[in-house]
Amino acid sequence: MTGPAASGRAAVGPLVREHASSLLAVATGAAMVRIVLSGGHTAYVRPSTGWLLLAGGAVLVVAGLSGLVGAASAPACGPDDGHGAEHRHGPPRAALLLLLPLALLVLVSPPSLGAFYAQHARGSASVTARPADRAPLVTTGAPLALSLGQVERRAATGTTLDGVLVHLTGFSAGVEDGRVLLTRFSVRCCAADAIPAQVALALPPGTEVPEGQWLDVTASWDGPAEGTALLTAQSVAQVSEPDDPYEL
């Protein structure tokens, strides 16, 4: 096949090979911008850091486009340019393989960390007490909203939960000794440093909760115990995953 169409296709291959670095920068930046705008970044990092990813993605897109524009305006090499027959432009074709995981990142958004990871990461986690976790809780009798990490640490270090109704939000990571493992991950920066906080929760009779289901729970502490904190649920509501699935 000859003509303008064939000539255009013939020019695409060298263009892509010669400018793979700039194309890769544009694709990476676009993927970062897309995942932030879609909200998918919360599967990797805390929502408050989304603006950093958005800014970084925009910089990559601009830098990549600048490289493409600069390369397009540069004079083409002629037959007598002194480079010889073996002259080649840009990085090897293998660099283009990096576009595949980027395409998957754009097309497939992974869920936040869930029950499977919690079951396998729990053995390596340890409860570290903080001075604030030993301070008495001030309550008016209404359920006190606490993080799972706070409940776990308080249950392991004292009796400050005694007689206090707590309000918790987490997901079911399976059943242990007849109690649901109510779980939520604590992260400092991103999912790579996530540590599961867990309490063993006795549900009201007849209540069934599928693994991975998020729950809003009002519960009371059963008292000191070795290992996972033990609580008894007074009320349980199945809810959707929060906008921020992680806690500090």
User: pLDDT over 70 for what percent of the chain?
Assistant: 64
Q: What single string gives the DSSP state of each residue in 160-208?
A: TTTT-EEEEEEEEEEEETTEEEEEEEE-SSBGGG-EEEEEEEEPPTT--
State both tokens at 212. Answer: 């991975």
Looking at residue 212, its amino acid is G
d(CA 229, CA 237): 20
Q: pTM score, two decimals?
A: 0.61
Query: What are the tens digits of pLDDT across the range 29-64?
Result: 887 787 788 777 776 777 777 788 788 888 888 887
Of 11-20, 89-98, 149-158, give the range with the top mean pLDDT: 149-158
The CA distance from 103 to 101, in Å, is 5
pLDDT at residue number 226: 63
Domains defined for the chain, CATH in brackets: 4-107 (no CATH), 115-239 (2.40.50.140)
Banded pLDDT at 117 (limits 50, 70, 90):
low
Is 222:201 a contact under the CB 8 Å cutoff? no
CA gap 97, 86 in Å, rounded:
23
Report pLDDT digits (tens) over 56-113: 888 888 887 887 776 656 555 555 555 544 444 444 455 555 555 666 565 655 566 6
